Structures are given as structure tokens and as C-alpha cells.
């Protein structure tokens, strides 16, 4: 298989590139040149937002294109149109954020989606992802695979969620742990996302798939306990009633990453029906493995994870945490 990876140097793109290389595929990475791609790839450089930015893709043929773009849908439109006659299939890494909010727990790929346009400039994350989906389908038709990922965790994470919890538990001491402990969460290890995407593309699958762990795969408790165990600093998880956190104005998802209290927002983020992807071969590794491997990667970087320039830092401040814990 010949893969053209659009991106391929960070987080999701890097995981997909490494998975393809492990399979013995021939991989071409198209990127801006800000980061080195994995060894064993061929590199083409260009900026999809600049005039002439796709010139390096004017020639060449590939069996599969994988695209992780999350800004203006017009960039996906232009790339997909350019490649539609020279690539077999197009896999677009989308997001479950394309579903209209609120969405009840148990919703699947047939749930209502937000409006989007393949011709739009940047609007907002959900609308951008939906517009890019439409752009991929417009150019590739039934050769387009729409991978609607949920929360993505694992090595190379540059969005600051799991790395923050690992850093916090590595500091030891009492840790503000948002309850209840058995609150279910849904996420996908980036390597499982990569494996499923390439399998699905190779099998000729098309259309939309929600790709995230099934209900019951993990809880906020199993995630944070794995963080405390692997960092080995004797962190003491102090489970705190969500009503207490709400009264104090603690922001779910940002001040306490991954966590969203039970209710409408939790159903939307952590209540997906993933039976379609499971039937198509999705397998999810244990949360303990995801946490341990992410910690090993973080330690290789000196404990400081990269953060995308378009993302804000996550996590509650030490002073606010101490006050909430009564320390």
C-alpha cells in the first residue's frame, strides 16, 4: 500500500504514519516542515493555506490518503479535488463534535449533525470538521471514509489532557479527583484509532464511523487510578462530589481534563453508540496500557508534553485545588 499522509508529524498523524510503516507500507508525508516526520518516510513540503501550497502534490499516485485537517474546510476541498483522480481512497479523521448538541446517550452515526460547507473558511471546530467531511465526500464519493473520533488520548498527545493528569499525580500528595469514581468515560487510544483507520481503508469501508471506546471500557476512576499507579509518587486521589465542584465554579473538561459530570454534556461526549465500528473490527486496549505508554513517552521528553499553539493549557491551579481540598 502507498499512503499519502497529510500531516504525519504530530499526535494522530504521527500515530497513523508509524502504524503504516509497521505494516511495511510506502509512506509519503506532506507537511509544512516544522517537525521532522518519522524515519522511513518520504517528505513533501507545502502549506495548504498559502497560494501554491499544494504544488508538491501536483504529481504522484497513492492507494490511500489520510487527512487530519481541523481548520478551514476549503483546504480539504482543494486537496481532495486535486487528488481524486490519483488516489484510491480518502480517509478523513473527523470528530464526534460534528453531531448537533445536545445529543442523547446512545446516539450513533445517524444522529443529526451541524451545518457545514466544503467551501467555508474557518468557522468553529464542529462546523469546520463537518465542512471537511462534505469536501471529502464531494471529491471521493463512496471512496471516502469519515472517521469520527471521540476524545483521543495516548503517546504524542499535544492537547494537554492525559499529560496534565500524569504530571499532577507525579507531583504526589492529595489530588482533587472529580467524582463519582464509577462515572463512565469514552476515549480512543491514538494507536487504536490509527490501526482501525488503516484496516477500514484497506478493507474498502466508506461513510461515517464513530471511533471511540465502547461504554464501560473505562471510568474516570480507572483512568486516574492508573495515572497514580504508573507515576508512583504516592498521589492520594480524593474523590469529590460533583455538586461541590459545580458550586465552586470548577470548569469540567478544562480545569479537570476529560471529566464531565453526569448530564446532558456527559451524554454528548461520553455516551456514543459505537456498535458500527466494533462490528468493523475496532479493538481498544486497556486504559492502564494507554496511561503507562503515555507516561513513558512523557518521561522521554523530560516530563513536559508539547502543546498545540491553537490549544490552551489545561488543569486546575495548585492554589485553587488546595483550597477546594481544605489544605
pLDDT of residue 311: 80
Q: Are residues 69 and 181 in the same domain?
A: no
Three state DSSP letters for 199-235: HHHHCCCCEEEEECCCCCCEEHHHHHHHHHHHHCCCC
Above 90 in pLDDT, residue 312? Answer: no
Residue 202 lies in a domain: no
Phi, psi of 228 (to 5 degrees): -65, -40
Residue 72, pLDDT above cutoff 90: yes
Q: Is the pLDDT of residue 105 over 90?
A: no
pLDDT above 90 covers what percent of the chain? 92
Could you tell me if 319 and 181 lie in one domain? yes
What's the pLDDT band for 193 if we cut at 50, 70, 90? very high
Q: Answer yes or no: do 13 and 99 share one domain.
A: yes
87 and 226 inside one domain: no
**Which of these three, 130, 149, 168, is where a domain ends?**
149
The reply to whether 173 and 116 lie within a common domain is no
CA 13 to chain centre: 10
**Residue 173 domain-assigned (yes or no):** yes
Residue 85 pLDDT level (bands cut at 50, 70, 90): very high
For residue 53, being part of any structural domain is answered with yes
State the distance between the two ends of the chain, measured CA to CA, in whole angstroms. 57
Residue 169: domain span: 158-185+214-271+286-325
Residue 193 lies in a domain: no
Mean predicted confidence (pLDDT) in 179-200: 98
Q: Are residues 179 and 108 in the same domain?
A: no
Q: What is the pLDDT of residue 308?
A: 82
Domain identity same for 178 and 267: yes
* CB burial string 236-252: b at 16+ within 10 A, e below: ebbebebeebeeeebeb
Q: For the chain, give the mean pLDDT.
A: 96
pLDDT in the model for residue 216: 87
State the CATH number of the domain containing residue 71: 3.40.50.720
Taking alpha carbons only, the member of 111, 93, 209 closest to residue 152 is: 93
List the CATH number of the domain containing 238.
Answer: 3.90.25.10
Residue among 68, 126, 93, 102 at smallest CA distance from 271 = 102
User: Do 19 and 126 belong together in one domain?
Assistant: yes
Taking the C-alpha atoms of residue 24 and residue 1, their distance in angstroms, rounded to an integer, is 8
Does 140 lie in the same domain as 180?
A: no
- At residue 153, the pLDDT reads 98
Q: Can you give the pLDDT at residue 104?
A: 81
Co-location of 141 and 290 in the same domain: no
User: From CA 186, how far away is CA 214, in angstroms rounded?
Assistant: 7
pLDDT at 185: 98
Q: CA-CA distance, 95 to 239, in Å (whole number)?
A: 30
For residue 115, count CB atoms less than 10 angstroms from its CB and return exposed for 0-12, middle for 13-18, buried for 19 or more: exposed
**Residue 208: inside a domain:** no
Number of domains within the chain: 2
Q: How far apart are CA 172 and CA 234, in angstroms?
A: 5
User: Parallel, antiparallel, or unpaired for β 144-149 and 87-95?
Assistant: parallel
Give the model confidence (pLDDT) of 128-181 as tens digits.
999 999 999 999 999 999 999 999 999 999 999 999 999 999 999 999 999 999
Classify strands 218-219 and 184-185 as parallel, antiparallel or unpaired.
Answer: antiparallel
Question: CA 175 to CA 323: how far, in whole Å?
Answer: 12
pLDDT digits (tens, 9 = 90+) for 32-57: 998 899 999 999 999 999 999 999 99
Reported confidence tier of residue 223, pLDDT bands at 50, 70, 90: very high
In a domain, 281, yes or no: no
Structural domain contains residue 94 = yes
Q: How much is the average pLDDT of 57-80?
A: 97
- pLDDT in the model for residue 313: 84
Considering the domain boundaries, does residue 276 fall inside one?
no
pLDDT of residue 310: 78
pLDDT exceeds cutoff 90 at 290: yes
Amino acid at each position: 500500500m502507498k499512503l499519502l499522509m497529510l500531516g504525519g508529524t504530530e499526535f494522530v498523524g504521527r500515530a497513523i504514519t508509524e502504524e503504516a510503516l509497521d505494516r511495511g507500507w510506502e509512506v509519503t508525508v506532506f507537511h509544512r516542515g516544522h517537525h521532522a516526520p518519522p524515519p522511513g518516510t518520504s517528505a513533501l513540503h507545502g502549506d495548504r493555506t498559502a497560494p501554491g501550497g499544494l504544488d508538491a502534490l501536483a504529481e504522484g499516485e497513492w492507494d490511500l490518503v489520510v487527512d487530519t485537517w481541523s481548520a478551514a474546510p476549503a483546504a480539504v476541498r482543494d486537496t481532495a479535488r486535486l487528488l481524486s483522480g490519483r488516489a484510491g481512497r480518502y480517509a478523513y479523521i473527523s470528530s464526534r463534535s460534528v453531531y448537533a448538541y445536545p445529543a442523547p446517550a446512545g446516539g450513533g452515526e445517524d444522529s443529526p449533525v451541524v451545518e457545514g460547507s466544503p467551501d467555508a473558511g474557518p468557522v468553529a471546530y464542529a462546523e469546520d470538521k463537518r465542512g471537511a467531511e462534505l469536501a471529502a465526500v464531494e471529491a471521493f464519493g463512496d471512496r471516502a471514509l469519515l472517521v469520527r473520533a471521540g476524545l483521543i488520548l495516548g503517546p504524542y498527545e499535544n492537547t494537554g489532557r492525559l499529560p496534565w493528569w500524569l504530571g499532577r499525580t507525579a507531583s504526589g500528595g492529595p489530588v482533587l479527583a472529580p467524582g463519582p469514581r464509577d462515572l463512565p468515560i469514552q476515549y480512543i487510544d491514538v494507536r487504536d484509532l490509527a490501526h482501525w483507520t488503516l484496516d477500514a481503508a484497506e478493507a474498502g469501508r466508506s461513510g461515517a464511523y464513530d471511533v471511540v471506546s465502547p461504554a464501560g471500557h473505562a471510568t474516570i476512576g480507572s483512568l486516574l487510578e492508573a495515572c497514580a499507579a504508573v507515576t508512583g509518587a504516592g498521589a492520594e486521589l480524593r474523590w469529590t462530589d460533583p455538586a461541590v465542584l459545580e458550586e465552586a465554579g470548577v470548569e469540567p473538561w478544562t480545569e479537570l481534563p476529560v471529566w464531565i459530570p453526569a448530564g446532558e454534556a456527559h451524554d454528548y461526549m461520553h455516551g456514543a453508540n459505537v456498535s458500527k465500528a466494533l462490528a468493523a473490527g475496532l479493538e481498544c486496549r486497556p486504559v492502564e496500557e494507554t496511561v503507562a505508554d503515555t507516561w513513558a513517552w512523557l518521561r522521554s521528553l523530560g516530563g513536559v508534553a508539547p502543546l498545540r499553539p491553537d490549544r490552551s493549557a489545561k488543569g486546575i491551579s495548585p492554589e485553587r485545588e488546595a483550597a477546594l481540598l481544605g489544605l
